[in-house]
């Protein structure tokens, strides 16, 4: 299979058809390949033959409740092979239980969405979320089509960025005690608007090394992980969305900035020992 394909791991014929319809309605033209079980997905995605994981898929859309090897185990196995998250994984599940959502993010999911009941919701939510997580160049091309169709209106993609991607990136790399630790210590270090804006600029225009060095200087001044998270990283993530809404950056820059933020969060706050796979 050629690079650029979307791999759907889905045992339900009905849900797979809904996904195909949603991607088409959202203007996603990538080829869609289906694995109807966890074992089939392992055999295809993780097999040595056929190229690397990134050559086999640009995006994986994963159902959790699969026969044999379930989606949670598959997610862990894929992330063990792809620790740098070269291939985004969107979990689509009927479960809205917070524990399922949290476990998936900690195992390496990039986004989690409860499967909609209505076909229209598949189009407006699942389809657009998928194209937001495709490779930046592909997403930018699609962004242009969406803006033409909507007369230049950014609202739909804004909602995806602000309500889906940014909060979930932060959640994926947070720990239950991180916020409490920052609060109980009185935070101490508080990043100002200039520091937040500077980090945002670095995320948008430089490689991850420059942004990491900038944040490390804050840690050298005594900033804790909790204070960095609360007063620098979360506000910078929000500012990325604000600047996108104000047309101060394009969609390709936003996609790259979010990827850099994801790496930065992982470097600052790696998985707990019991969560490594």
- Domain extent listing, the chain: 6-134, 166-275
Cβ-based neighbour number of residue 9 at 10 Å: 30
Q: How would DSSP label each residue in 176-236?
A: HHHHHHHHHTT------HHHHHHHHHHHHHS-HHHHHHHHHHHHHTT--HHHHIIIIIHHH
User: What pLDDT sits at residue 178?
Assistant: 41
Enter the pTM of the model.
0.53
Mean pLDDT of 63-81: 91
CA 215 to chain centre: 21
In CATH, the number for domain 6-134 is 3.40.50.2300
Whether 68 contacts 77, CB under 8 Å: no
pLDDT band at 251 (very low <50, low <70, confident <90, very high): low
- Summarised one tens digit per residue, pLDDT across range 227-238 is 787 788 888 888
User: What pLDDT sits at residue 150?
Assistant: 36
Whether 252 contacts 244, CB under 8 Å: no
Q: Is the pLDDT of residue 147 over 90?
A: no
């Amino acid at each position: 299979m050629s690079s650029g394909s979307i791999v759907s791991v889905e045992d339900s014929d009905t849900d797979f058809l809904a996904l195909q319809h949603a991607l088409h309605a959202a203007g996603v033209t990538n080829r869609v390949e289906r694995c109807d079980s966890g074992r089939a997905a392992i055999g295809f995605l993780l097999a040595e033959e056929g190229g690397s994981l990134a050559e086999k898929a640009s995006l994986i859309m994963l159902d959790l409740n699969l026969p044999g090897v379930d989606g949670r185990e598959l997610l862990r196995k894929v992330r063990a092979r792809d620790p740098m998250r070269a291939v985004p994984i969107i979990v689509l599940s009927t479960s809205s239980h917070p524990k399922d959502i949290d476990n998936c993010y900690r195992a390496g999911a990039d986004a989690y969405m409860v499967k909609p009941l209505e076909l229209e919701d598949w189009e407006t939510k699942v389809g657009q979320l998928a194209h937001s997580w495709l490779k930046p160049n592909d997403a930018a091309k699609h962004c242009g089509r969406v803006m033409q169709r909507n007369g230049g209106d950014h609202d739909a993609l804004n909602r995806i960025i602000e309500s889906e991607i940014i909060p979930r990136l932060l959640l994926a790399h947070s720990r239950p005690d991180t916020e409490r630790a920052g609060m109980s210590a009185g935070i101490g270090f508080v990043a100002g608007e200039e520091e937040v804006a500077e980090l945002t600029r670095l995320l948008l225009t430089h490689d991850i090394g420059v942004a990491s060095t900038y944040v490390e200087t804050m840690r050298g001044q005594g900033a804790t992980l909790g204070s960095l998270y609360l007063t620098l990283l979360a506000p910078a993530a929000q500012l990325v969305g604000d600047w996108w809404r104000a047309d101060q950056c394009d969609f390709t820059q936003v996609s790259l900035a979010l990827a850099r933020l994801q790496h930065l969060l992982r470097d600052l706050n790696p998985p707990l020992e019991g969560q490594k796979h």
